[in-house]
Amino acid sequence: MRGDGAVDVVEVLRRNQLLGALDEREMAELVALGHLVHYDADALIFDKGDPGDCLYAVLKGQIGIHTSSEDGKVMMLNFLDAGSVLGEIALIDGKHRTAGATALRPTELFRIDRAAFIPFLERHPRLAIRLMGVLCERLRWVSENIEDAVFHDVPRRLAKRLLMLAEAYGQRTAAGVRITQAVSQEGLANMLGVTREMVNKSLKALKAADAITYSKGFLVLTDPDRVRDMAGETTRL
């Protein structure tokens, strides 16, 4: 099954840690349950509070996962690229979405409705066990973010976020590790739930410490180990 003759659904689904373990027969069965959907850039896929009636796999493009407060403040939680799955939390319990999703560029998704996916899980308990592991990882990630917001200052939280972006989108160059995902100061502020001014001040501190620089609109970790020290981490890139 291919989208517009270009995207091999099975090949992309194989990249996902949850779905990649399916054998050929199971994967064929899963693909037969879904269909392709397309979204233009900036299109809302679902919003926080919407019914959790389906699961999506990203075939191409990019998704931004975000949440918002009652007074309209938006916090960007994550970026999802090809091979990622979204909507699995609300899919399992059938309750409302815990966050919103927006296409950041023209995007093609593979959609499986809850009415079809739950019986598939019941037929394949091995996948259900893997899904439990994925949800546990998601819970740990949320817990770590809550701890960061409560106990750590903005410079440390920013350093940790830059390391996360470098791990996902880092490209080694002569100047250092270049984050190929373009993120504005406003975008970083939304990720951390702080003001743009606070991010600007923290970025200046990192730049003054020769830990980062800008190159053609992209962030470069010129000294990743120093960024890790500022984030309070020990593992080296």
Report pLDDT digits (tens) over 110-169.
999 999 999 998 998 888 888 787 777 777 766 676 666 555 688 888 998 899 899 888
Mean pLDDT on 169-194: 86
Question: Which pair of structure tokens corresponds to residue 169?
Answer: 């989108």
CATH number of 2-149: 2.60.120.10
pLDDT of 5 over the 70 cut: no
* Assigned CATH class of 153-231: mainly alpha
Question: Which pair of structure tokens corresponds to residue 185?
Answer: 């100061």
For 6, 22, 135, 201, the CA distances from 187, given in Å and listed in that order, are 31, 36, 26, 15
Domain ranges of the chain: 2-149, 153-231
Per the CB < 8 A criterion, the answer to whether 111 and 134 are in contact is no
**Percentage of the residues of the chain whose pLDDT score is greater than 70:** 90
Per the CB < 8 A criterion, the answer to whether 149 and 52 are in contact is no
56 band by pLDDT with thresholds 50, 70 and 90? very high
Question: 180: number of CA atoms within 13 Å, CB side?
Answer: 8
**Residues 145, 146, 152, 155, CA torsion sign:** positive
Across the beta sheet with 107-113, what order do the strands follow?
A: 35-39, 107-113, 54-60, 85-86
